[in-house]
Amino acid sequence: MSNDTLSSRLDGIRTRIARASEAAHRPQGDVRLVAVSKFHPASAIEQALKAGQRLFGENRVQEAKDKFPALREQWPDLRLHIIGSLQTNKAAEACRLADVIESVDRPALVDALSRAADRAGRLPDLFVQVNTGDEPQKSGIPRQEADAFIASCKARFGGSLKGVMCIPPEGEDPSSHFAFLAQLAHGHELTECSMGMSADFETAIGQGATLVRVGTAIFGSRPTA
């Protein structure tokens, strides 16, 4: 993808975020864009950085490790979000590398992150991922367990627990899932709500998203080998 095309796509997404925010009577700047760069090369991320983008999302710790340390040397203000399912054996690397981990979803991972943070001397900001559709194939704490799990994470991590994240079921109206997540965040006095992707981020903004995760609409389809 050419730099002009990526830059224009970014501008288009920013315009849509601004319009959706205005329609929802939310102040400009209340919603931030996480550009999901998974599977895309560092050169594409560099184009986005040159176009002013600073928040990026990656699914896999190893892929992020391969791409972001060098980019961070040139753009020290970039912020990296780990948004994919995180294995406990990757917790230490995630603590060293990420600014935000959005996929905290089970007690074993909480324990692994706590140990890793003690060793690394740093803890990224954390979000609890909620499986709002209770889909067996999908990561995230089940809906009925979310309140207790969030409370336990707050007790464990204090102010480092910043928010919640979800990925609604495909083929369903996401509105009720977004509303549930926003209510959950409000009930636990969490300020961040990461929800909405390329196909539905405007709906998520209307329901209270503070972060939207957009990949394909910025970077195009996944590169083929």
In 3-state terms, what secondary structure has residue 34? strand
Neighbours of 76 (CB within 10 A): 7
Within-domain flag for 122: yes
pLDDT in tens, 48-101: 999 999 999 999 999 999 999 999 999 999 999 999 999 999 999 999 999 999
Q: What's the number of domains the chain is made of?
A: 1
Here the CATH number for the domain that contains residue 93 is: 3.20.20.10
Within 8 A by CB and 6+ apart from 191, the residues are: 162, 163, 185, 210
At residue 102, the pLDDT reads 98
Closest CA to 161 of 114, 201, 205: 114
pLDDT in tens, 93-128: 999 999 999 999 999 999 999 999 999 999 999 999
Q: How far apart are CA 214 and CA 210, in angstroms?
A: 13
Within-domain flag for 117: yes
At residue 221, the pLDDT reads 84
Within-domain flag for 190: yes
At residue 3, the pLDDT reads 60
Q: How far apart are CA 161 and CA 207, in angstroms?
A: 21
Enclosing domain of residue 52:
3-217
Within-domain flag for 225: no
At residue 193, the pLDDT reads 98
Within-domain flag for 224: no
The model carries a pTM of: 0.95
Within-domain flag for 200: yes
* pLDDT band at residue 2 using 50, 70 and 90 as cut-offs: low
* pLDDT band at residue 169 using 50, 70 and 90 as cut-offs: very high
At residue 43, the pLDDT reads 95
Token look-up 């367990």 returns 145
Distance of CA 219 to the CA centre of its chain: 16
